[in-house]
Every structure is written in structure tokens, then in C-alpha cells.
């Protein structure tokens, strides 16, 4: 048995205490097959066990009081967090139509009572191994997705993921009129920092800077490395005036405390450009980026270490306020 199987869990749902004891005794006779065996005498209690515990496989009687096995099967398969758990149906009826019904509803297997203990063990083992392999595959796929969306150095999102999310959020803003803003943040004089202290010091500044930015952003904000020493923050449900404040909080957080690199304090500042979704004007991914980039250029031009808002977005926001007041 693998370590994963040693910690696997099974749920037995049957209104017969004798049947539950027989199954439990059979399963536990194979040392290491299951770490935990849960029991329930009806479908309602069985479903509660599924919600309260992590279950890897279910053995379920068909005929039970309150809700039968077919109803429990449907409830499990319609629940997004439970639908992948294999279910072996147990019945005293040899009716092939009922077996087909259970399999069509999503049952993994079917056993007719009285069942042979060796056959029960063999079928449980097969479906458990398949479940554990599928869990491992899903975990691997999640890790691959995370890697494909994450910047290797800073561990924040990368530009590819940012563009995907921006496309969705711009469509949402277009459809529902929700607020959406963008910050483009660039480290001031980063080339000089690299030239003076080395690229390892520069990399550490990038890593530490991301941690400081995260501390001033919401959990829902998308922080991404846009390229080199430039970062983007996508602020959903945030209008222009609040986006300016968010940019200022980030800028201040970075500027007020020196970075400690090899026991040496380095003063680091950033410049920030702000844009916001405006219907009919700044209402696409490209225009949001372009306006934020213009504002960032202006921040650099004005002396760096400052937040500048897109004049086009600012004018539209002002016009919108004037229309509301009138």
C-alpha cells in the first residue's frame, strides 16, 4: 500500500447495522487500506458525513429510509466538491435495469447482496487506486497552472495571467458598468541600482518590493510583474479616486522604509501611473494600459517617486460627476 492509501477514508451508508459491520470488518482486515472508516444509517446522515469529512470512496445501499441510494448519488454528483468521489452501490436486488440506472446516474460500480468479501475488497481497491491517481493528477495540473501564471522570481502573477484577467474584467465592466482601475508601477533608477550593487541585490529588491505592495493591496487585487522592474495592479470594483489612493499607499510604503540588502540599507522609490475604465473612451485592455503608461511616463518626467493619474480618465471622471450633479 502507498502512503496515500494508508490515509484514505471510506464512508459506508446502509440502514443495516449488520451489513455495515460486515463491510467494515472486511475493509479493515486489509491492513493499511483505509485510515478511517465512517458510517451512516441513511442518506441524510451519509451526506452530512460527506460535508464534514474528507471521503475518498463511498459504499452505499440502494434501499434506505428518508432518501435512498439513488437520491444520495444524485446529491453527491451535483455537488462540485464531492462529485469526483467514486460510489459503489449495494443492493439486494439483481434487477439489471436498476443497475443500469445507478451507473447512468454516476455510480462507479455495483455489488449485489449477499456479496463475496474478496470481490468487495477487489472492487474497492481498484476504485480507490483510481481515485488517488486522479487526485494526484489534479494536484499536478493545479501546480502546472500555478507555475504558468506565476513570475518565477517574485512569485506574483506574470504578464500572461494579467492579460487574461484584464480581458475578463474589461468585458465585465463593459456589460455591467462596474468600476475597474489599473496601476502601472516602475522602480525608479533600477538600472543604477543593478550597476552599483549587482543583479542579486536587484533581484532581492524586486522580491521584497512585491511583499510590501501585497501588504497594501486587497486580497482580490491582481499584482503582476509586467516586465523587468515594472509591475501592474488590477483593481476590480475600484473607481479612479480610490485607485489614486491605493497607488499612493503603495508608493509611500516603499519609500518610507529602506531596503536591507547584505546588511546595507538601500533607499528605493517607485513611480506610478493610474488609469480607470471609462465607457466610450478608456474601455479596452489596450487603452487602460496605454493611459496608465502615459501617466507613468509623466510621473517619471515630473521627478519620480510620485503617483500621476491619466488626464483623459480624470477628465471623464470629472465630466461624469458634473452630469450627476446637474
Q: Is 304 exposed, middle or buried (0-12, 13-18, 19+ CB in 10 A)?
A: middle
Catalytic-residue membership of 229: yes
Euclidean distance between CA atoms 32 and 2, whole angstroms: 8
Name the grid cell of 255: 519609500
Euclidean distance between CA atoms 128 and 90, whole angstroms: 17
Contact 251, 305 (CB under 8 A): yes
Please give the biggest Cα pair distance in the chain.
84
Name the grid cell of 306: 510620485
Helix then strand then coil, % of the chain, to nearest 5: 50, 20, 30
Q: Which residue has the cell 444524485?
A: 74
Name the grid cell of 9: 477514508
Euclidean distance between CA atoms 72 and 67, whole angstroms: 7
Give the active site residue among 39, 41, 169, 229: 229
Q: Is 185 exposed, middle or buried (0-12, 13-18, 19+ CB in 10 A)?
A: buried
Beta strands in 241-309 (DSSP E): 259-261, 264-266, 270-276, 307-309
Instruction: List 88's β-bridge partners, or say none.
Output: 59, 109
Q: Mention every residue, 6+ apart, whose C-beta is less than 8 A from residue 139.
A: none
- The candidate with the shortest Cα–Cα distance to 277, out of 183, 179, 185, is 179
Name the grid cell of 57: 470512496
- Catalytic positions are 229
Amino acid at each position: 500500500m502507498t502512503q496515500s492509501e494508508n490515509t484514505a477514508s471510506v464512508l459506508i451508508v446502509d440502514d443495516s447495522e449488520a451489513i455495515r459491520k460486515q463491510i467494515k470488518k472486511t475493509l479493515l482486515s486489509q491492513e493499511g487500506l483505509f485510515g478511517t472508516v465512517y458510517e451512516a444509517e441513511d442518506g441524510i446522515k451519509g451526506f452530512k458525513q460527506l460535508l464534514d469529512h474528507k471521503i475518498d470512496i463511498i459504499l452505499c445501499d440502494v434501499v434506505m429510509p428518508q432518501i435512498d441510494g439513488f437520491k444520495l448519488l444524485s446529491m453527491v454528483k451535483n455537488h462540485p466538491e464531492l462529485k469526483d468521489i467514486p460510489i459503489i452501490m449495494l443492493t439486494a436486488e439483481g434487477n439489471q435495469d436498476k443497475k443500469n440506472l445507478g451507473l447512468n446516474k454516476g455510480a462507479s460500480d455495483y455489488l449485489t447482496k449477499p456479496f463475496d468479501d474478496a470481490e468487495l475488497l477487489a472492487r474497492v481497491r481498484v476504485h480507490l487506486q483510481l481515485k488517488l491517481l486522479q487526485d494526484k493528477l489534479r494536484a499536478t495540473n493545479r501546480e502546472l497552472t500555478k507555475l504558468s501564471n506565476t513570475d518565477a522570481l517574485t512569485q506574483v502573477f506574470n504578464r500572461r495571467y494579467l492579460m487574461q484577467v484584464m480581458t475578463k474584467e474589461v468585458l465585465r465592466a463593459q456589460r455591467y458598468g462596474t468600476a475597474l482601475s489599473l496601476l502601472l508601477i516602475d522602480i525608479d533608477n533600477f538600472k543604477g541600482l543593478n550597476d552599483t550593487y549587482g543583479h542579486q541585490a536587484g533581484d532581492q529588491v524586486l522580491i521584497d518590493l512585491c511583499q510590501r505592495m501585497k501588504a497594501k493591496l486587497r486580497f482580490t487585487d491582481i499584482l503582476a510583474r509586467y516586465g523587468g522592474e515594472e509591475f501592474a495592479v488590477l483593481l476590480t470594483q475600484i473607481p479612479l479616486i480610490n485607485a489614486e489612493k491605493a497607488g499612493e499607499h503603495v508608493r509611500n510604503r516603499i519609500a518610507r522604509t529602506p531596503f536591507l540588502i547584505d546588511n546595507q540599507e538601500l533607499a528605493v522609490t517607485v513611480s506610478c501611473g493610474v488609469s480607470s475604465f471609462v465607457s466610450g473612451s478608456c474601455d479596452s485592455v489596450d487603452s487602460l494600459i496605454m493611459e496608465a503608461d502615459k501617466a507613468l511616463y509623466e510621473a517619471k518626467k515630473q521627478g519620480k517617486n510620485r503617483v500621476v493619474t491619466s488626464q483623459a480618465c480624470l477628465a471623464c471622471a470629472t465630466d461624469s460627476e458634473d452630469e450627476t450633479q446637474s
